[in-house]
Amino acid sequence: MEVNKESIKVIGFDADDTLWVNETYFREAEQEFAKLLSGYETENKIDQELFKMEMQNLEIYGYGIKGFMLSMVESAIDLSNGKVDNATISKILNLGKEMLNKPVEVLDGVEEVLKTLVDKYRIILLTKGDLLDQERKLEKSGLSKYFHHIEVLSDKKEENYKNLLEHLEIDVNEFLMVGNSLKSDVLPIVNIGAKAIHVPFHTTWAHEMVKEEDASGNYKTAEHIKEILKWL
């Protein structure tokens, strides 16, 4: 894919694991959850059942820490055959609260990139998840001043992007998306005719992984977010 910087007018940035650390905290919480439930099942089985519960609950709870908390509670009840005690449930809820209160760790190079691009392009934040939590992280990050528009989507599928670009009156040929997830930030974008740059993060949620044969597409990959500046 060639990025013609003259044709690009609007750049969208994903938030979690593109601008700041996110998935690492979920992995840490999963490990603590497995320890709490270790008297009932193996760590591998607990991980599998928790992921299965998250997938079952996605349509009800959506993405984010609050839905993850509820899935942990439900999984604990199922894995223990209803025997899990109140003290353990309380500890599970505290795991979620600790995640919500984590400091926001902005990734290296992010602010430099935004500062460089903000006067050249219309910059928008396109993320998914819990609205209140994403607003909190954005405020803590100190990055809100760089964005002309902020959108928290319920999901990031082709239809979601099409509807949003139409609503914001953005020409698909003038739009570039930057994100860490091939499944959510890159492939849907190139499928609707826009441009995308993939900036991988070292940890990826299983739900966001794509098979190697499905990962091909007309997009660029940058090992570090600062690399995108050479195309813009």
Q: For the structural domain made of 10-21+104-230, what CATH number should be given?
A: 3.40.50.1000
Distance (Å, whole) CA 208 – CA 214? 12
Tokens 């739900």 label which residue? 207
pLDDT at 129: 83
Q: What is the residue extent of each domain of the chain?
A: 10-21+104-230, 23-100
Residues near 159 by beta carbon (within 8 Å), at least 6 away in sequence: none
CB 176 within 8 A of CB 11: yes
Of 7-16, 58-67, 201-210, 220-229, least confident by mean pLDDT is 201-210
CB 123 within 8 A of CB 117: yes
Q: For the structural domain made of 23-100, what CATH number should be given?
A: 1.10.150.240
Using the predicted structure, report yes or no on whether residue 148 has a pLDDT greater than 80: yes
What is the token pair recorded at 38?
């270790």
pTM value > 0.85: yes
CB atoms near residue 55 (< 10 Å): 12
CB burial of 207-216 (b: ≥16 within 10 Å; e: otherwise) equals: ebebeeeeee
Residues near 128 by beta carbon (within 8 Å), at least 6 away in sequence: 62, 63, 152, 153, 154, 155, 156, 184
pLDDT at 119: 93
CA 130 to chain centroid: 11
Confirm whether 10-21+104-230 and 23-100 share one CATH topology.
no
pLDDT tens by residue, 3-51? 666 789 999 999 999 999 988 899 999 999 999 999 999 999 999 999 9
